[in-house]
Structure 1
Amino acid sequence: MRLIAIVGGLAIAGLLLLAWTQPWANVDLTTGATVELTGSDAAPALAALGLAALALAAALTLAGVVFRVVLAVLQALIGVTVVASTAFALSSAATTAAPAVTKLTGVTGSESVAALLGDVAWTAWPVIAIIGGGLCVLHGAFVLATARKWPRSGQRFERADDQGARARRDGGAEPPRDAIGDWDALSGGDDPTAR
């Protein structure tokens, strides 16, 4: 489940970043020109959200149970934000196209730009971005549902004192000594021969 969650998170982040770079719409202007809107024009926040989802998937590789729950909630919020950002871009072509139209024509002001707009031909990429946002929400729910079932992180992420305390708490004696454990104890400032 852990591998599925991590790989799935990376794939979703990649999908969001890909959608951000693709053409989202072709806008015909009354002047006869055509403006191509990319995801970076239509939904500039998508890049930051995709990078956040990428960092989140990477953080899952080391996260403990509590942190996994926090990351799952954040992933769901990222997904909701992606859907909202993309839906806003789709609902308001004039606002979405305004920066690109201003750059091409020099016309500013929302009413002036709206007067220049003709037909808007949307591509499939905004829909793919919305699907990516939905997948983020599902990914967050999956991580939340399975967070407690993932195997523990390796012992290399725990201090030697924590390992001994865990062994005593679980009813066992001190963990057996080995070269790696002794080295870790020395690194932590403890004398492994004092036990």
Structure 2
Amino acid sequence: MNIQAITRAGAAGMIVSGLALGYSYIAHPHYMSPETIAAPFWIVIHALFALSLVLGLLGTIAIYALTAERAGGWGLAGFISLFIGMMLIFGLDYYEVLIAPYLAVHYPQVIADHGAGDAMGLVAVFFPLAGVLTVLGYAALAYGWMKGDVLPKPVAFAMIIAAFAFGFGLSPLGGLMAARVTAAAFGAALIAIGVSAWHSAAFSPAAT
């Protein structure tokens, strides 16, 4: 694997991640009854979300590894934050894909009482925290990339704005529609970073 191949693999991961994230949030069911969670569509949507997490994190790692020095302290802080946040989110998504549908069929009262699990016990604390860490991490990383002349300013600003908007959309103040719209915007910002990385020599460690 040469540098160009690693960059383009990371860029492709970011692009697919953004597409999968936007679609999975837009298509996410509004009501989370046992019947909804037991349906195949629920599994498909959350499998796509898991794909967006995996490819997004792998893509970000590949691109950040090549540009870490120029991303500076902001980039490092952002990368650490988003890495922890996305790992925590994947834990809940693992539950939503593999465990919640089983519970919905065999123990529907658990789902009726607790929904998809995002408000179950300490998950109600750590799931919002994971979202905050992820969006703030991407905002900080984009800012580091912009300061290091890795990312064009319009793309960096788009990610920073989309990250804060997505954070609002995920908060109790946002609501379902805001979460869907801002998730689509955040996904589009991931795609823009992927496209920029695919075409730009600035994502090479040899760039100045």
TM-score, shorter chain, exceeding 0.5: no
* Larger fraction in helix: 2
TM-score bucket (shorter structure): 0.3 to 0.5
* Larger fraction in strand: 1
* TM-score where L is the length of structure 1: 0.39
| Larger RCO (alpha carbons 8 Å, 6+ apart) | 2
